[in-house]
């Protein structure tokens, strides 16, 4: 099954400090047309409106492996 729209997976910086990565996505307009967001860990023990369910994905990526100490 193919997705009807794009899937954006964002691993952002600063989650434990100032959420600078998430703020940058928001300020840059990347999230303007996003229909839903999954936050893996709510902060300050607040509850957020959500839907319960499951999503099974098969993802194919292209590229080559590398590491910061030995970039390809």
pLDDT of amino acid 27: 94
pLDDT of amino acid 35: 83
Spatial CB neighbours of 67, under 8 Å, sequence gap ≥ 6? none
pLDDT of amino acid 50: 63
CA triple 50-11-60, angle to 5 deg: 95
This model's pTM is above 0.75: no
Mean pLDDT of successive 10-residue stretches along the chain, which has 72 residues: 83 82 90 80 67 76 82 70
| Helix, strand, coil percentages in the chain from 3-state DSSP, rounded to 5 | 10, 5, 85
pLDDT of amino acid 69: 84
Please, how many CA atoms are within 13 Å of residue 64, restricted to the half-sphere of its CB? 4
């Amino acid at each position: 099954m193919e997705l009807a729209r794009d899937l954006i997976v964002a691993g952002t910086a600063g989650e434990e400090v100032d959420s600078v990565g998430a703020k940058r996505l928001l300020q840059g307009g990347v999230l303007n047309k996003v229909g839903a967001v999954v936050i893996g860990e709510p902060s300050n023990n607040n509850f957020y409106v959500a839907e319960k369910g499951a999503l099974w994905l098969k993802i194919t990526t292209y590229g080559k492996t590398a590491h910061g100490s030995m970039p390809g």
